[in-house]
């Protein structure tokens, strides 16, 4: 069965410092992986996706994630946090060609950015 685990429910960083949000996945197949961001009282927006091409994926707003099959991880990083990055982030896994065709969401990591 497919699953995704976000290792931290809450991460707090200072503005200008690096961001690391951790995600591990479990899948019997070659997974597709996504990161979504949700700002307060808003819908979810796609940050980036991995679909078996390059293992280092670049997304919007300076975020990137690296797919590491040996570690079953897909951590999200950003070199320098901005106040506007404060939001909740969801790691998501799917099976390519899965019969249900739906995505499985992690429980989310809330990112706080201190001035």
Partner 1 sequence: NAGVTQTPKFRILKIGQSMTLQCTQDMNHNYMYWYRQDPGMGLKLIYYSVGAGITDKGEVPNGYNVSRSTTEDFPLRLELAAPSQTSVYFCASSYRDPANYGYTFGSGTRLTVV
Of the candidate residues 76, 95, 111, 113, the single one contacting partner 1 (CB under 8 A): 95
Site string for partner 1, 47-66 (x = CB under 8 A): --x-x---------------
In 3-state terms, what secondary structure has residue 28? coil
Q: How far is CA 112 from CA 16, 38, 98, 109, in A?
A: 13, 13, 35, 10
Of the candidate residues 1, 40, 43, 115, the single one contacting partner 1 (CB under 8 A): 43
Strands 10-14, 109-114: pairing kind: parallel
The nearest distance, CB 15 to partner 1, in angstroms, is: 26
CA pair distance 23, 6, nearest whole angstrom: 5
CA pair distance 85, 88, nearest whole angstrom: 9
CA pair distance 111, 83, nearest whole angstrom: 10
45 in contact with partner 1 (CB under 8 A): yes
100 in contact with partner 1 (CB under 8 A): yes
9 in contact with partner 1 (CB under 8 A): yes
Binding site for partner 1 (CB under 8 A): 9, 32, 34, 36, 42-46, 49, 51, 90, 94-98, 100-103, 105-108
């Amino acid at each position: 069965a497919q699953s995704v685990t976000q290792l931290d429910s809450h991460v707090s960083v200072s503005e200008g410092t690096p961001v690391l949000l951790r995600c591990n996945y479990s899948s019997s197949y070659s997974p597709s992986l996504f990161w979504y961001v949700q700002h307060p009282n808003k819908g979810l927006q796609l940050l980036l996706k991995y679909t078996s091409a390059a293992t280092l994926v670049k997304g919007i707003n300076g975020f990137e994630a690296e797919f590491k099959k040996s570690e079953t991880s897909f951590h999200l990083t950003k070199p320098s946090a901005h106040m506007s990055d404060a939001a909740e982030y969801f790691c998501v896994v799917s099976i390519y060609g899965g019969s249900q065709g739906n995505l499985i969401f992690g429980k989310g990591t809330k990112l706080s950015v201190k001035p």
